Amino acid sequence: MKAMKIHRLIYITISFGIAGMVFTGCKKLAGLPLQENQDHIVSTLDPHIDMTAWDFLKSRAVGTSEFKDSILYRMYQGIVYSGIDSAEYSKPGRTFILLHNDAVLRRSGSTTTADSYFGRYKKNGVAATQWEDYPKDSVKNYLLSLIVEGEHTFENTLPDPKFEKTLRPSGTDPLNPESIIAFRVINDRDSRFRINDFPGSAVPTPNLAAPGIQARTAGILSTNGPIHVIDRVLFYQKN
């Protein structure tokens, strides 16, 4: 009896299979139209934005007809407060790291997190709430550490970290007296762009930020150099 049930199940399965093969040449199956093959056009997004890094920063800070958001507004505030010459963001042959709002101020509940600038660089043990809580020169020097000589993006960066000079004056950061930065690309399916992630970089202790971070959006090509947007505080530190 059990063998008869198995044979019957095999017969039904084969029958449905044959029916499926027969109907593949038809336009419908069980009264429903069959899915037709469609040509899939493969394309790559153009990373060129046809504007300078400064124009891009402003457009994503105060909003424009093209960009409705203000994700770089806090960085823009820092530039204005520090007095840094905005022309630095329009000079050619440079790489620009731009701070998403979260890289400046990020909160978890009522706590300012240590992976944001205001949370890492506290004043008198208390997280800052605005750029004005810091001396202008310290803000300016930090922002200059986010501008790098040369053009560094996916096309010319290897898995091995390469160290480059930033515009920050040498000797102004005790943790990084040479004012350098490290770039590397992780060659996996996500092709991650990493900054200050190198052998010997500091390992974070609990509740502290790591020096090496991954760009939120990398490889934006302005008319005067690549742009990488980050959403965590960036700093350079060895073990």
Q: Where are the domains of the chain?
A: 2-33, 53-230
Answer yes or no: is pLDDT of 205 > 90.
no
pLDDT-derived band at 19 (thresholds 50, 70, 90) equals: very low
**What is residue 154's predicted lDDT score, i.e. its pLDDT?**
93
The predicted-structure confidence for 112-129, as pLDDT tens digits, reads as follows 999 999 999 999 999 999
Q: Which residues contact 231 (CB under 8 A, 6 or more apart)?
A: 100, 102, 103, 106, 216
Phi, psi of 168, rounded to the nearest 5 degrees:
-65, 130
**Is residue 44 packed enough to be buried (19+ CB in 10 Å), middle (13-18) or exposed (0-12)?**
exposed
Answer yes or no: is pLDDT of 75 > 50.
yes
**What is residue 18's predicted lDDT score, i.e. its pLDDT?**
45
Answer yes or no: is pLDDT of 26 > 60.
no
**What is residue 164's predicted lDDT score, i.e. its pLDDT?**
97
Mean pLDDT of the chain: 86
**What is residue 37's predicted lDDT score, i.e. its pLDDT?**
63
**What is residue 30's predicted lDDT score, i.e. its pLDDT?**
52
Measure the CA–CA gap between 113 and 118, rounded to whole angstroms.
Answer: 8
Q: Which residues contact 209 (CB under 8 A, 6 or more apart)?
A: 114, 115, 119, 120, 232, 233, 235
Q: Is the CATH code 3.30.360.10 the one for domain 53-230? A: no
Task: State which H helix or E strand residue 165 sits in.
Answer: strand 162-165
Answer yes or no: is pLDDT of 166 > 90.
yes
Residue 177, token pair as written in the block:
């007296």
Give 3's Cβ-side CA count (13 Å radius). Answer: 0
pLDDT-derived band at 4 (thresholds 50, 70, 90) equals: very low
The stretch 44-54 carries a mean pLDDT of 90
Answer yes or no: is pLDDT of 188 > 70.
yes
Give the residue ranges of DSSP H helices in 41-155.
Answer: 53-59, 73-82, 101-104, 117-120, 136-144
pTM: 0.81
